[in-house]
Structure 1
Amino acid sequence: MAIVGAGASGAAAAWRLACRGLDVVVFDRGGWWQPETAPSQDDDWEWQRLGPFSPSPNVRKRADDDPVDDRNSAIKALVVSGVGGATVMWSCHMPRFHPSDFRMRTLDGVGDDWPVDYEELAPYYALNEAHMGIAGIAGDPAYPPMPPRQTPPVPLGPAEQHMAATLDRLGWAWWPADLAINTAPYGERGACNNCGPCELMCPHRAKASADVVYALPALRRGVRFVTNARVHTVSLAPDGRADGVIWTAADGAEHRISAETVILAGNGIETPRLLLNSRSAGHPDGLANRSGLVGKRLMLHPLARVTGRFEDAVGGHRGITAGGIVSHQFYETDRTRGFVRGVKLLVMRSHGPLLTALGSTFAPIPWGHGHAARFEAVFDHTLAVSVCADDLPEEGNAVTLSPDMVDAAGRPAAAIHYRVGDNSRRALDFGLARGAELLTEAGAVELQSTPHTPNAGFHLMGTARMGDDPATSVTDRWGATHDVPNLWIVDGSLFVTAAALNPTHTIQALALRAADRIASTRRRA
C-alpha cells in the first residue's frame, strides 16, 4: 500500500495498517525533522520563526517546499513538508468535535450532515488519545463522557488562574484545554519542561508530533518511508483502478511504484492539487472528480483576536505556546446572535521580546523615540482571547491549479481562493465583543482587536468531502473515492463542515478508522 504524505493522518494510517500486518510505503516530499536540533534552544528562536522555521512555505522556501499561490485568499496557507507534517510546528490543541458538528444540516439548516456521527468516531478519538497522550481533565460538560486524559492538564499560571476566576464571575463555562503535550512521562516520551516555543519542534519529544508518536513506531513495524519524493501522479490500470504512484526524487529522476491501494494524506490543499494534476483522458477534470467537487468548499477557519494590556506584569510569555483555557460557552447555535453555529474562545499567552518589539502582541510599538517606554508597557503585560468561528462550506472557496506558479519540477502549484463568509464575519465580531468583555472584566486597561488573522491557515479542510451520494461527494463514508474504489483519502480534505475547533484530532481519528476499513476489506490476490 502506498500512502502519499507522512503528516498527522498519513503517519497514523501507516502505523495502524502496519499493526494489521500490511505492507506499507509512505512518501513525503520532505525529510525527517530532527527534534534535537530545534531552534527553540537557540537565542534567536523568535527570528527563526519569522524565516527558516516559518510555517508558510512561501516564506520558508526550503528545498522540499512547494509554493502556494495565495494571492486570492484572505487567509495564507501554512503547509509543512516532511515526516510529521504540520504537527512539527503546531500548538498541540486536540479537541474532539462536538456531536452537533456532524449534524449541521439537521440542526441548523446550513452545510450538510456528515455520513459519520460522533458516536461512530468516538472509539477512534479514544484510540488516538491513548496513542498521542492528552494532557487534560475528562468531564467537560460540553461533551458526552470521555475516558480519562493520559496526563494532568497543563498548569495554569497566575494570569490564567485570574482569567479562569473572571470567567467564573461572568458565569461563562471554561475548561482546561486538551493538549497533546506530556505534562508527565507517558509512553516512551518524557515530560514537558515548559520551555515555551512548542511551534519550533520539541527537543525533549514531550510534544506529540506525528513523526515521534506515529511514524517512528510505524518504522519499527516495517513501514518504509521514502522521503524527498514529490509524488505528482496517481497511475491507473486499464480497469480504472489505481495501481501506483509516480514521483520525482531529489536528483530529478522519476520513479514509479506499484500498489494495490493508494492512500492520499497530503492535506486539504495538496491532496486536491495531486488529484487535479493527475488528470487523464478518462478523468479530464482531475482524478476522482466526477462530482466536480475536488478542490471545492475549502474551509480554513477564520480567526480573530482581542488583546488586553494590563498595568501589572502577567507572565504571559512564560510556559508553553498553546493557551491552556478554552471556553465553549458560545459554541452552539443561538439564532438571537444573528448567525448560526458558534465560536470557541481561547485564552492565549503572549510573545517573547523580539515579536513584541515588532508589534505582534500589541501594535504599534514605534521605532525611535518612545520605543523603549512602549515596549516596557507592553512586554509581559498582555493576554489575548482568540476567536475561532465555524467556517461554512462555500463552493467559491476552492483549491485550483495556479496558472503561473510551479513547483521545482515545473508542475502547477496549488492556488487557493478564499473569502471570509458573512456568517463567519458575524460570528467573529460576536466573539471579539465577548473577548473584550472578558478582558475588561479581568482588569485590562487597554484593548486592541484584530478582526482577521491572515497568517492562520493551518486548518485545511473540505476539498474532497465525504458522503453517501457520488453526485455530491468525492469519497464514501470511509474515505474511498467513488470514482476509483481503491484510491482513498484520509486527510482534512474529507471534512463536510469545519466546526469551530482545531481539526487534527478528527483528521487522525478518521485516518485510523479508514485504516481499519482498508485492512478488513482490501482486495486479496
Structure 2
Amino acid sequence: MFAGVGGSMILYAGDWPRLLPSDFRVRTLDGVADDWPLRYSDLQPFYQRTDEAFGVSGIEGDPAYPEGAGPPLPPLPIGSIGARMARAHDKLGWHWWPAAQAVLSAPYRGRRPCVQFGACMQGCPEGAKASTDLTHWPEATANGVRLLTGARVSRILMSSNGLAAGAEFVRLDGSWDTVHADVVILAANAIGTPRILLNSATPQHPDGLANSSGMLGRRLMVHPFANVTGYFDEDLISWNGHVGAKIACYEFYETSPDRDFVRGAKWSLAPTGGPLNAAMPTRAGEDVWGDAHHDHVRRHLGRTISWGIFGEDLPDENNRVTVDGSLTDSSGIPAPKITYAVSENSRRLLDFHIARAVESMQAAGAYDTAVESLMRYSGWHLLGTARMGENPRTSVVDQYGRSHDISNLYIVDGSVFVTSGGVNPTSTISALALRSTEHLIANRRNQKVPA
C-alpha cells in the first residue's frame, strides 16, 4: 500500500479487469458467501465511464464478459510472450484475451503513451499509467478542491445531532488540526477505513462509528496469490513491456462441480523484469551467487514467462481488522491489528490453478517451471471490512456506500466489497466510487447535514 496523492495507484501494475457477472451472485450460484445488493448490469455503465476517465487500453469482445462498449484505446502489444502463450492456449482450447490495462496505448487527454519501460511498479516515468494524481487531481484542484497532503486522520468528528461533522488529523510537523464538513467520505482501504472508524468510538457509538451491526472490520479478503514461471531456451525479450498483463485467462474462473473447491481465479501474463530482477534472488526463492551467478542471469533474463494467479478469497468473519490495545503509530494513534488465516478453499483453489498454469507453460514449450504460492511480494488486495448490503443488521453501508447508522458518512473504497472476486479490484473500486458519488449528488437536497 502507498500513502500519497494518487494512493496505491502510483505503484500498482495497471491491470484493469472488471468483476464478472457471477461475482455479484455467489450465494445464488454457489451457495457460499453472499450476493451483492447490485448486479454487473448496474455497474456496467460506470465501468465504461471510468475506462474513459482513466484512459484504458484493450479490445471489446472478450467472451468472458457480457457484450458492451470496449475500452476507449486499442490494446497494448502482447509481445512475444503473449503470442507464445496465446498459441499454447489455442492448442489447449483454453481462454485467453488481450488484457485491459489502465496504461495508454496512444496519446490521450494530454498524456503520453506507454513506451514499454516495464517500470510500472516503481511509478511510470512516462505518465502513461493511470493514477489519480494525473487523471483527476489536477482538474479537481483547478476547480477549487482543497487537497491537504501530509495529513494523517485519527478519527471522524461527530455533531450534536448524531451526524459526521469532519475529521481530526495530525500534520507532518506533529501539530493537530480539524477539518469540518457536511458530508464525510472515507477511502482509506480495507484496513485504514475500519481503523479510523473504530478509533472514532463515542459514548453513542462505543464499538466505533458505523458499527451497530458488529460487522465493521470483519470479513477481510486479500486475494491469495500464486506465480508460475516458465523457462525457455530462446530469448523472448520477456523483460519488455507493461507489467500488469499482456493477456489474461479466465478458463477456470467459474465454479465447477468436479473440483473440491468453489469459485476460481484469473491469470495475468506478465513480463519478468530486467537485468536487476534477473540478477537478484527471484520470487520463486532461488538465490545464486558466486561462480554460478552468470549462468543464473542467462537462464532468467528475457527467457522466462510468468502467470500471476489471483485466487478468489471467500469472506470469513474471523478474518478481521481491529484496533491494537497497546501498539500506536508514530503519531500516537492506535494501530490496526490484522487477524487472518488462509482458508482451505483458497489453498485447494491455488493448487488446482498452479497445476493448470504449469500445463499451460509446458504446452508453450517451457523446459522447466518454478512455482511460488501465497506470494508475499504481490497480490493481497485489501477488501471487505465494511461490506455493503440491504440489511443494516448484517452490513455496514448500503449499495451506494452510505453508512446505515450515520446518513452523511460514506465509504468508497474496497472495504465495501461483499465478495472479492478473482480479479484486481481497482476498476471496480473506481466504478463504485463514481456510482456512489453521483447518487450522493443526485440526492443532495435530501441529505441530512450536521447541526
Shift of 1:189: 1.1
**Aligned counterpart for 1:506 among listed residues 403, 421, 428:** 428
Task: Verify: 1:294 aligned to 2:216, yes or no.
Answer: yes
Task: Verify: 1:358 aligned to 2:280, yes or no.
Answer: yes
Task: Verify: 1:216 aligned to 2:119, yes or no.
Answer: no
For 2:71 and 2:305, locate their aligned partners in 1 and report how far apart those are by CA, in whole Å. Answer: 27
Matched to 1:276, the amino acid is L
For 2:293 and 2:148, locate their aligned partners in 1 and report how far apart those are by CA, in whole Å. Answer: 50
Shift of 1:355: 2.3
**CA displacement 1:110-140 (0-9 Å, x = unmatched):** 0000011111111111110111111100111
1:340-489 → structure 2 map (5 Å cutoff):
340-360=262-282, 363-457=285-379, 459-489=381-411
Partner of 1:56: none
For 2:239 and 2:285, locate their aligned partners in 1 and report how far apart those are by CA, in whole Å. Answer: 16
Shift of 1:308: 1.1
For 1:325 and 1:424, locate their aligned partners in 2 and report how far apart those are by CA, in whole Å. Answer: 23
Partner of 1:29: none
Instruction: Say if 1:355 and 1:361, in contact at 8 Å, map to a contact too.
Output: no
Instruction: Say if 1:136 and 1:152, in contact at 8 Å, map to a contact too.
Output: yes
For 2:422 and 2:355, locate their aligned partners in 1 and report how far apart those are by CA, in whole Å. Answer: 17
**CA displacement 1:7-55 (0-9 Å, x = unmatched):** xxxxxxxxxxxxxxxxxxxxxxxxxxxxxxxxxxxxxxxxxxxxxxxxx
Instruction: Say if 1:365 and 1:375, in contact at 8 Å, map to a contact too.
Output: no
Shift of 1:409: 1.0
Partner of 1:83: 5
Task: Tell which deviates more after alignment, 340-349 or 261-270.
Answer: 340-349
Instruction: Say if 2:224 and 2:380, in contact at 8 Å, map to a contact too.
Output: no
**CA displacement 1:387-425 (0-9 Å, x = unmatched):** 111110001111112334321211111222222111111
Instruction: Say if 1:95 and 1:502, in contact at 8 Å, map to a contact too.
Output: yes
Partner of 1:248: 170
For 2:407 and 2:321, locate their aligned partners in 1 and report how far apart those are by CA, in whole Å. Answer: 23
For 2:237 and 2:398, locate their aligned partners in 1 and report how far apart those are by CA, in whole Å. Answer: 49
Instruction: Say if 1:385 and 1:435, in contact at 8 Å, map to a contact too.
Output: yes
For 1:354 and 1:490, locate their aligned partners in 2 and report how far apart those are by CA, in whole Å. Answer: 38
Task: Verify: 1:112 aligned to 2:31, yes or no.
Answer: no
Partner of 1:278: 200
SS in 2 for 1:513: helix
Shift of 1:362: 5.2
Instruction: Say if 1:365 and 1:371, in contact at 8 Å, map to a contact too.
Output: no
For 2:275 and 2:160, locate their aligned partners in 1 and report how far apart those are by CA, in whole Å. Answer: 60
Instruction: Say if 1:305 and 1:453, in contact at 8 Å, map to a contact too.
Output: yes
For 1:457 and 1:492, locate their aligned partners in 2 and report how far apart those are by CA, in whole Å. Answer: 14
For 2:417 and 2:12, locate their aligned partners in 1 and report how far apart those are by CA, in whole Å. Answer: 20
Shift of 1:524: 7.1
**Aligned counterpart for 2:16 among listed residues 68, 89, 94:** 94
Q: Which runs of 5+ in 2 are unaligned?
A: none
**CA displacement 1:193-230 (0-9 Å, x = unmatched):** 11110112222211111111111121122111011111
Partner of 1:303: 225
**CA displacement 1:56-100 (0-9 Å, x = unmatched):** xxxxxxxxxxxxxxxxxxxxxxx1111100000011111111111
Partner of 1:161: 83
Matched to 2:368, the amino acid is E
Partner of 2:179: 257
Q: TM-score, normalised by structure 1?
A: 0.83
Partner of 1:267: 189
SS in 1 for 2:435: helix
For 2:58 and 2:137, locate their aligned partners in 1 and report how far apart those are by CA, in whole Å. Answer: 24
In the alignment of these two chains, the number of paired residues is: 447
Task: Verify: 1:198 aligned to 2:198, yes or no.
Answer: no
SS in 2 for 1:430: helix
Shift of 1:363: 4.2
For 1:502 and 1:159, locate their aligned partners in 2 and report how far apart those are by CA, in whole Å. Answer: 21
**CA displacement 1:410-467 (0-9 Å, x = unmatched):** 1111222222111111111111001000001111111111122023355110000000
Instruction: Say if 1:462 and 1:494, in contact at 8 Å, map to a contact too.
Output: yes
Instruction: Say if 2:201 and 2:209, in contact at 8 Å, map to a contact too.
Output: yes
Matched to 1:177, the amino acid is A
Shift of 1:378: 2.3
Matched to 2:427, the amino acid is H
For 1:448 and 1:326, locate their aligned partners in 2 and report how far apart those are by CA, in whole Å. Answer: 20
Shift of 1:312: 1.4
SS in 1 for 2:307: strand
Instruction: Say if 2:279 and 2:296, in contact at 8 Å, map to a contact too.
Output: no
Q: TM-score, normalised by structure 2?
A: 0.96
SS in 1 for 2:169: strand
Partner of 2:149: 227
SS in 1 for 2:227: strand
Matched to 1:312, the amino acid is E
